């Protein structure tokens, strides 16, 4: 509901009112254990509004793996490499990436999986043992972070870093680690990071801010002041 009122609806009104003449389309990728493309280049119209309303009761599930979604975004946007488009990328997550959880360390062990011996550690089943110990677990997390940043930089190189806007939003427990989201937002010249906590009012403020940024980008891309008109994705 907040997404509709504070982000999608204002963009629809912007187009209907003739404030901007260029087209804007939406691609929606759901992060989980894999990436699912829910929308691909859907125009901002009443059909899109109805779609978002139909998903009002959707809830987060499974792991939040960043890399499959970033790979899918690159795959979809690759065909736009030679077109004059502007990209407004929003990454919304309630925690750090989970991609490392099923990866294997250099010793061939899935060190983030629970062990088979039912040994308890601080009330939880202990993770699988490895000669590398905690160092292997940290290495996998660092590798995932580096890969996420590399994928964002790849998008920038693909489309042009001056045409990329990357905005990340952390909406969840304030105690969670959102450092990867913050670094993703800073990987290219144009971006922002917002850490909201769990208050719905903060989510409303975040989407209002994102709407303002997108409006500015669409206005610039429309061709005012002699700028070449571009499509926004």
Q: What pLDDT is stored for residue 228 in this prediction? A: 40
Q: What pLDDT is stored for residue 229 in this prediction? A: 44
Strand order in the sheet with 164-170: 191-195, 164-170, 85-93, 231-232
| Helices (runs of H) and strands (runs of E) counted in the chain | 7, 8
Q: What pLDDT is stored for residue 119 in this prediction? A: 63
Q: What pLDDT is stored for residue 226 in this prediction? A: 37
Q: What pLDDT is stored for residue 144 in this prediction? A: 96
**Six token digits for residue 190:** 């144009």
Extract long-range pairs of 96-99: CB within 8 Å, 24+ residues apart.
96/176, 96/177, 96/178, 96/179, 96/180, 96/181, 97/64, 97/65, 97/66, 97/67, 97/144, 97/145, 97/148, 97/180, 98/63, 98/64, 98/65, 99/63, 99/65, 99/66, 99/67, 99/68, 99/144, 99/147
**DSSP codes, 43-106:** ESSHHHHHHHHHTTT----S---HHHHHHHHHHHHGGGTTS-EEEEEEEEESSS--GGGG---T
Q: What pLDDT is stored for residue 17 in this prediction? A: 75
- Can you give the pTM of this predicted structure? 0.87
Cβ atoms of 87 and 159 closer than 8 Å: yes
- Separation between Cα atoms, residue 168 and residue 162, nearest integer Å: 18
Mean pLDDT by 10 residues, the chain (233 residues): 89 80 86 93 92 81 86 93 88 93 93 76 76 93 97 94 93 92 96 91 92 88 50 69
Q: What pLDDT is stored for residue 133 in this prediction? A: 87
């Amino acid at each position: 509901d907040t997404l509709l009122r504070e982000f999608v609806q204002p963009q629809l009104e912007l187009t209907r009112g003739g404030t901007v003449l260029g087209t804007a389309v939406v691609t929606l990728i759901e992060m989980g254990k894999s990436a699912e493309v829910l929308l691909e280049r859907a125009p901002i119209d009443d059909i899109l509004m109805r779609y978002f309303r139909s998903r009002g009761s959707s809830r987060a599930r499974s792991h939040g793996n960043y890399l499959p979604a970033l790979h899918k975004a690159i795959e979809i946007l690759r065909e736009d490499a030679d077109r004059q488009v502007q990209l407004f990328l929003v990454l919304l997550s309630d925690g750090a990436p989970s991609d490392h959880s099923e990866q294997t360390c250099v010793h061939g062990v899935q060190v983030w999986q629970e062990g088979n011996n039912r040994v308890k550690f601080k009330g939880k089943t202990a993770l699988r043992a490895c000669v590398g110990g905690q160092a292997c677990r940290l290495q996998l997390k660092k590798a995932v972070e580096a890969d996420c940043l590399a994928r964002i930089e790849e998008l920038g190189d693909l489309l042009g870093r001056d045409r990329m806007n990357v905005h990340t939003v952390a909406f969840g427990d304030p105690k969670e680690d959102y450092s990867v989201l913050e670094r993703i937002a800073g990987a290219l010249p144009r971006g922002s990071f917002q850490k909201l906590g769990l208050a719905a009012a903060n989510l409303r403020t975040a989407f209002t801010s994102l709407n303002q940024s997108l409006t500015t980008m669409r206005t610039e891309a429309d061709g005012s002041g002699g700028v070449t008109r571009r499509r926004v994705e």
